Chains A and B, each alone.
Chain A
């Protein structure tokens, strides 16, 4: 088991290198001049642009630029600076904090609400509850995050406070501690909750039809034990797979939610940095995201073994 984990982690190293080089090349290939972008709608002073290009090694060939970057990371733990000379490590530390809070809030909501509703629907299959849950998930899947975000922000953030004076859901920012993440977490999790509900329902409904469930029931086990221990545990494998893969999406793909709720997170930063062609920032963030994907997948694989004793890793 331990050796399996170590092997997986060693395998991650070339993946990480490949990812950095690939992203570095992609950002390099983007059209437009990053120095000119700093000057907005004015043409930059050529003399100043020249000094800046020299300073950020932009005149050097791609591979040399990559070497400057990767040698800094490997030998000095230095992730470089953006075009305002702010260290990328400082930017990443601050923004990942926010994004991680948001993603985990969303993940917990997904797991609790999604699995909960799915379980409920599966046990009431074909009844009114089931139909209602299915219909509402359809609604959630079809309404874009942009809409749910703005509507919930206006209703629960602005209007609720104006009408009742109660400041339960902050409109924006992270000033109210964990409460700040409830609304954006829910908005971000919205679509995934709906998918997970449907997945849980289907997976559990199928498992509950299996022979060993009938056996368990026939043995006289309580319904709670039959559903929980024998049904849900076996139905969990696709759900865990979904949640593991979703963590990566939640971390990197929260641009809209982060913008609406003014969370200074990684999605937003990535968007801006790609726009400004800040190679070190983009590469740094994407590398960490790749790392998170790899770790999340590893955890998922470990959980498989935990859930189903027949799965073994050697």
Chain B
């Protein structure tokens, strides 16, 4: 199949089907049949908690596989409209070869995640991208590894730890997970099982409803590391979760001089403060010749409010679908709060708010 796929995606074939691609034709025979378009059939939807679910997918041959920690753009079609969001892969790379899964916590106003949790049926065909993202384990995993996650940020980390388990990794792995309560925790039985392995330490901390008898309490603190006997300067650390958790971990590691051991992935865009002082000036959409008063929302939201339809994927600064050229002006990253004012730079408009007058090529 590999040779056929290669031949179908080759330039001679493309020049015969130009201006369309071979997938435009294959799609007419069957939507799963494609040289490059990644599609998958839903095998099963498992409800993990009251608002989180895991979707097991069987991808078509165009899928090139994933590295634990990566995410995919996941599109479902509802009433003729394809809706796309980024979801993390949660399954083990070393287990089944022909399926993988994504896990999602349904946001109250997240259309796709709600649909996934409540309505997605087995056998539905979904539209995917190839796996993307830099938040991945190194090829050679060091002997000491710390994985920290908060809330639904557990999904990419879960994929990592499951893969390590299934590939027979012998090094020490510590998994520190923060959830609001036991009911809010995904993958509970898997975590219980992992905890029984000799080289794995699983520490769960419930911030709202602490379990009786657990010594560690509350949000992330440097004492939690000390209690687990971890030396941050010598432990490769992955952290994924809400911005608050990441900021605390990053500050702690910077203070301890261990910032180079840290790998981060944000998992929810903090809501933007609309009354912030930088909600001034005019946002100009240069290509469309539209100007709007800066409302303080992200450039993506302001573009949509102005009637434009920029492309977007994850809406949380991960997938790089929404990047556009900023002609001039200063923008603030809503997660890191960094301000950049370079002219002619490309920015992800889903996580940047304008500071004063900004002109973008939209």
A binds B: no
Residues of chain A having any CB pair with chain B under 8 Å: none
Residues of chain B having any CB pair with chain A under 8 Å: none
